[in-house]
Amino acid sequence: MTEENFFYLGTLTKPFGLKGELCAFFDVDDCEKYYNLSSVFIDIEGEKIPYIIDKIQYRGKNQFVIKFQDIDIDNVNDFTHADLFLPLSMLPKLTGNKFYFHEVIGFEVVDQRLGLIGNCSGFMELSTNPIMKVTKEEKEILIPVNKDFIVDVDRDNKILQVDTPEGLVELYL
């Protein structure tokens, strides 16, 4: 599997107890979907290595305690601050106007007022609000990812319909 076949799940934060368990923070909206994980990929020096989970317990506020096969009290510290990943195939399917960023890259972006403004070429994740990058010829248009701006996600035709404030797109053209 290549890097693009994974999504970031969270991070192992610190050892827990005396049995080789680790605390983990899952960076997800709905933790319930991950209560029964049987394995994850741990990023070790840039490589995603699969690890089997013996036991996983939800502790609240996106915190889990995990006991892995092959990780014990002697090597538990080696995994502190390691990132956790899962295959993209395990992402819950989104419908309607909700989308994963990787899902819409390459989609045509059509503004209700201006028509086709370009293709979605990526996203910038800022702490305040993510920004969609739209490429039109040699120019890059930046559009905040805001539920009020996203009108429709047409997955079949690969079209992302937006309604941007007047003047925003024109600023870049």
**Residue 105 maps to a domain:** yes
- Walk along the chain (173 residues) and give the pLDDT tens digit of each residue: 555 688 889 999 999 988 899 999 998 878 888 999 999 999 999 899 999 999 999 998 999 999 999 888 888 889 999 999 999 888 878 878 888 888 899 999 999 999 999 999 999 888 778 999 999 988 999 999 988 899 999 999 999 999 999 999 988 87
The parent domain of residue 105 ranges over 101-172
Q: 10 Å Cβ neighbour count for 6?
A: 19
CATH code (residue 9): 2.40.30.60
pTM: 0.68
Tokens coding 136: 């039109």
Give the residue from 90, 110, 145 where a domain finishes: 90
Number of domains in the chain: 2
85 with 14, same domain: the answer is: yes
**Residue 96 maps to a domain:** no
For residue 141, give the nearest of 107, 162, 118 by alpha carbon.
Answer: 118
Query: Look-up: residue for tokens 């890097």?
Result: 3
pLDDT at 49: 93
For residue 35, give the nearest of 8, 62, 15 by alpha carbon.
Answer: 62
**Residue 95 maps to a domain:** no
Report the length, in residues, of the chain: 173
18 with 84, same domain: the answer is: yes
Question: What distance, in Å, lies between the first and last C-alpha atoms of the chain?
Answer: 39
CA distance 171 to 70: 55
CA distance 18 to 73: 6
CA distance 131 to 149: 12
